[in-house]
């Protein structure tokens, strides 16, 4: 209780003084002496090393709303769903390097470009062996040019967790800010992109929670090759 009172008193004092959040979470900075790029690299390795993670995001693409939710496990296994204002919704499973997609009629019509092919799919899953699914690859998900050349900003909180902020300006007026856990493991907690044609917010949670991915029953699967013939 004494520790809680000390923390509360410190937080109130910081707010009353109208100072930034930096320095108000305690006496020790877990990233003390580390440059922004080093923090980004540390967070990238830590987050890529988890057994599983939940990714959820909302944003816009050329003014159209879209959202995604994925449960991602090691080895590129995942359960997910994507919904777009102009394309519709699609559920996704990736298991053993094979992807399965079950989309709405509007999604298939938009993707396949043919109402007849979309009708042939119906409510079945479309199987695509060997398909690329970078969204379900923990190793590649937390790498990229956006994590280089970042600058550290004021510390903050994400869902009650202390977090360091790393920001990078992209060409075209976009700015992306990463939020890295400043207590416990230095996982990425959130990434926010502002400006440009695709503003979005991505949240990462449920680290190392169990994720079970199962292929759909055989009688509910359509092969992508057959659909291409129908279109």
Answer for the pair 189, 167: CB distance below 8 angstroms, yes or no.
no
Q: Is residue 165 in some structural domain?
A: yes
Dist. CA 173–CA 65, nearest whole Å: 20
Domain with residue 91: its CATH number is 2.50.20.20
Whether pLDDT at 8 is above 60: no
- Domain tally, the chain: 1
Share of the chain above pLDDT 90, in %: 59
Average pLDDT over residues 94-113: 89
pLDDT of residue 71: 96
Q: What is the mean pLDDT of the chain?
A: 84
C-alpha 86/C-alpha 46 separation (Å) is: 36
Tokens of 67: 């959202």
pLDDT greater than 60 at residue 11: no
Cβ contacts of residue 71 below 8 Å, gap of 6+?
52, 53, 54, 78, 79, 80, 206, 211, 213
pLDDT tens track for 149-183: 999 999 999 999 999 999 999 888 899 999 999 99
Judge whether residue 17 has pLDDT over 80. no
The answer as to whether 62 is a domain residue is yes
Instruction: Name the nearest CA neighbour of 133 among 99, 100, 107.
Output: 99
Instruction: Provide the pLDDT for residue 21.
Output: 39
Q: Which residue has the higher pLDDT, 116 or 67?
A: 67
Domain annotation covers residue 22: no
Find out whether 162 and 181 touch, Cβ atoms under 8 Å: yes
The pLDDT score that the predictor gives to residue 97 is 86
- Over residues 20-63, the pLDDT tens digits come to 334 445 558 999 999 999 999 999 999 999 999 999 999 998 88
Report yes or no on 57 lying in a domain: yes
In a domain? residue 7:
no
Q: Answer whether residue 153 is part of any domain.
A: yes
Q: Is residue 31 part of a domain?
A: no
Range of the domain at 145: 36-230
């Amino acid at each position: 209780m004494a520790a809680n009172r000390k923390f509360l008193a410190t937080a109130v004092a910081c707010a009353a003084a109208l100072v930034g959040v930096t320095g108000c979470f305690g006496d020790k900075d877990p990233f003390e002496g580390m440059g922004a790029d080093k923090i980004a690299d540390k967070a990238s390795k830590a987050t890529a090393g988890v057994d599983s993670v939940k990714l959820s995001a909302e944003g816009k693409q050329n003014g159209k709303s879209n959202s995604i939710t994925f449960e991602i496990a090691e080895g590129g296994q995942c359960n997910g769903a994507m919904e777009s204002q102009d394309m519709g919704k699609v559920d996704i499973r990736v298991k053993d390097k094979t992807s399965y997609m079950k989309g709405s009629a509007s999604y298939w019509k938009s993707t396949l470009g043919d109402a007849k092919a979309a009708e042939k799919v119906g409510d079945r899953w479309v199987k695509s062996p060997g398909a690329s699914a970078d969204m379900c690859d923990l190793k590649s998900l937390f790498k990229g040019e956006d994590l280089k050349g970042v600058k550290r900003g004021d510390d903050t909180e994400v869902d009650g967790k202390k977090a360091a902020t790393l920001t990078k300006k992209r060409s075209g007026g976009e700015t992306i800010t990463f939020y890295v856990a400043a207590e416990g493991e230095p996982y990425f907690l959130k990434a926010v992109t502002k400006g440009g044609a695709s503003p979005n917010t991505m949240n990462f949670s449920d680290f190392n929670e169990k994720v079970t991915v199962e292929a759909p029953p055989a009688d509910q699967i359509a092969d992508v090759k057959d659909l291409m013939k129908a279109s």
